[in-house]
Amino acid sequence: MVAASIVGAFIVGTVVGIAVDGGDSDTATAAPSEKAEESSGAAVAPPPRPQPEPEPEPTYYEPTPEDYLLTIKVLEQTCFGSAGCNVSYRIEVTSLYLGEVDPNATYELTYEIQGGEDTRINTLEITGDRYSVDEQEMVSTPSEDTELAAVVTDVSKRGL
């Protein structure tokens, strides 16, 4: 009878164990987090994805007066013998810089006209690879043989 009691207790323990476990023997060996997931029915979120690195701000070359060459295109010249000449001209810009300037920035390029009877200073604007100049400027020269030159004296970014 003792043997029958032991066998009976064993059978009762097994039946109770199966009833509590739901008959799924894999759950008994599953890791605690897996059991919690199965019992709550909630999905576990995947780990967060790393955020992409922000694009670095582009760096642009900051031009200097030495980066530009200005030439004078004579449009008209009227001379009055020994009294000198009146010269109408337009400035043309040649870029000498090797770097890339900010294509969205506007630079003011100040220049001086040399060779005239009076000092002439003017400013033109450069944006990207385009520039805007006065269509026509005028200066008086002491003689017909006077050579005019345009020298850049300053370059600054507008709107700072």
pLDDT at 149: 96
Helix, strand, coil share (%) of the chain residues, nearest 5: 25, 35, 40
What gap in Å lies between CA 131 and CA 106, rounded to an integer? 9
pLDDT at 91: 95
pLDDT tens across the length of the chain (160 residues): 444 444 444 454 554 455 445 555 454 454 555 444 455 566 788 888 888 888 888 888 888 999 999 999 999 999 998 899 999 999 999 877 767 888 889 999 999 999 999 999 999 999 887 888 888 999 999 999 999 999 999 999 987 5
Q: Could you tell me if 128 and 103 are in contact, meaning their C-beta atoms sit under 8 angstroms apart?
A: yes
What gap in Å lies between CA 1 and CA 4, rounded to an integer? 5
pLDDT at 40: 58
What gap in Å lies between CA 12 and CA 26, rounded to an integer? 21
3-state class (DSSP) for residue 55: coil
Could you tell me which residues are beta bridge partners of residue 69? 94
Q: Which two tokens stand for residue 104?
A: 């969205």
Q: Could you tell me if 28 and 14 are in contact, meaning their C-beta atoms sit under 8 angstroms apart?
A: no
pLDDT at 98: 63
pLDDT at 49: 84
3-state class (DSSP) for residue 125: strand
CATH 2.60.40 domain position(s) in the chain: 65-157
What gap in Å lies between CA 105 and CA 59, rounded to an integer? 12
Could you tell me which residues are beta bridge partners of residue 86? 78, 140
pLDDT at 106: 93
What gap in Å lies between CA 95 and CA 15, rounded to an integer? 93
pLDDT at 11: 52
CATH 2.60.40 correct for 65-157:
yes
